[in-house]
């Protein structure tokens, strides 16, 4: 049974479409959520919940800012890293700055938050929910990370998400003795308002609903996940 029993969980990117779905899933099973935010406009219609703590002004690509955020948290059980960005352009139209920007948004943020979360979980003195030691971390890769040929026309994005997948597997092995299970999900296209607006003629029924992906993430980050680590899990739906 998935039960967080009041445990504290970070959700980066929590103000986005997937992030909101993940927070709903986590709150339904008793988690207390901590959401770093950098773009204040994203908070305009963000639902209020006394057990969802938003911390403004956190740049997840800035190491000191990330360390300050994690240092200010209560004892941490899990950290879920949804923050990132997407860019699509052929190689002839992709500059070095574009390439670096994708790594900054996707790979660097996931690395800094994973590293800070590992330190915070290691420092936690009491057992987690259900008396379990260790903790959980979930990153977000993407389908092109598992199937790079599908990343044609978006090489920078594909490379950055592939880095997230590889980093997750490497850190999962590094933290095995700490019982910190790291995993990543690799979704195809999510059924969000932004994606519908960008691709109005697509068959949206084949896309992955954020709420469905959120359930997968909530399980991987929960104490009910006793054995899965170092996985990059395809979440493709019918697409």
Q: Structural domains in the chain?
A: 8-235 (3.40.50.720)
Tell me how far apart the alpha carbons of residues 166 and 11 are, in angstroms, rounded to a whole number. 21
What is the structure's pLDDT at 165?
Answer: 98
Per-residue pLDDT band for 131 (boundaries 50, 70, 90) equals confident
pLDDT at 53 over 90: yes
Residue 208 vs residue 140, higher pLDDT? 140
The pTM assigned to this predicted structure is 0.96
Per-residue pLDDT band for 74 (boundaries 50, 70, 90) equals very high
What is the structure's pLDDT at 1?
Answer: 66
Tell me how far apart the alpha carbons of residues 5 and 189 are, in angstroms, rounded to a whole number. 32
What is the structure's pLDDT at 195?
Answer: 80
pLDDT at 187 over 90: yes
pLDDT tens per residue, range 111-125: 999 999 999 999 997
Q: What are phi and psi of 198, to 5 degrees?
A: -75, -30
Per-residue pLDDT band for 104 (boundaries 50, 70, 90) equals very high
Q: How long a stretch of residues is the chain?
A: 239
What is the structure's pLDDT at 65?
Answer: 98
Q: What is 65-130 written as a DSSP string?
A: HHHHHHHTSSSEEEEEE-------B-GGG--HHHHHHHIIIIIIHHHHHHHHHHHHHHH--S--GG
Summary mean pLDDT of the chain: 95
Decide: residue 31, CB within 10 A, 0-12 exposed, 13-18 middle, 19+ buried: buried
pLDDT at 99 over 80: yes
What is the structure's pLDDT at 132?
Answer: 85
> At 63, which helix (H) or strand (E)?
helix 63-71
pLDDT at 136 over 80: yes
pLDDT at 169 over 80: yes
Tell me how far apart the alpha carbons of residues 79 and 94 are, in angstroms, rounded to a whole number. 32
Tell me how far apart the alpha carbons of residues 65 and 37 are, in angstroms, rounded to a whole number. 11
């Amino acid at each position: 049974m998935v039960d967080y029993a009041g445990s504290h969980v970070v959700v980066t990117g929590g103000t986005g479409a997937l992030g909101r779905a993940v927070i709903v899933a986590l709150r339904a099973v008793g988690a207390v959520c901590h959401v770093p935010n950098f773009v204040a406009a994203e908070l305009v219609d963000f639902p209020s919940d006394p057990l969802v703590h938003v911390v403004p002004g956190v740049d997840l690509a800035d190491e000191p800012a990330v360390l300050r955020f994690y240092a200010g948290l209560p004892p941490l059980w899990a950290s879920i890293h949804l923050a990132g960005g997407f860019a699509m352009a052929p190689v002839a139209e992709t500059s070095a700055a574009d390439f670096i920007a994708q790594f900054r948004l996707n790979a660097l943020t996931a690395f800094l938050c994973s590293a800070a979360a590992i330190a915070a979980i290691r420092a936690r003195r009491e057992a987690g929910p259900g008396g379990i030691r260790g903790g959980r971390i979930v990153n977000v890769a993407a389908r092109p990370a598992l199937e790079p040929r599908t990343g044609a026309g978006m090489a920078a994005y594909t490379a950055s998400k592939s880095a997230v997948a590889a980093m997750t597997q490497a850190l999962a092995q590094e933290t095995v003795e700490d019982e910190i299970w790291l995993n990543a999900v690799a979704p195809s296209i999510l059924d969000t308002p932004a994606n519908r607006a960008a691709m109005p003629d697509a068959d949206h029924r084949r896309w992955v609903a954020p709420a469905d992906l959120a359930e997968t993430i909530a399980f991987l980050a929960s104490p009910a996940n006793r054995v899965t680590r170092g996985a990059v899990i395809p979440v493709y739906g019918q697409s």
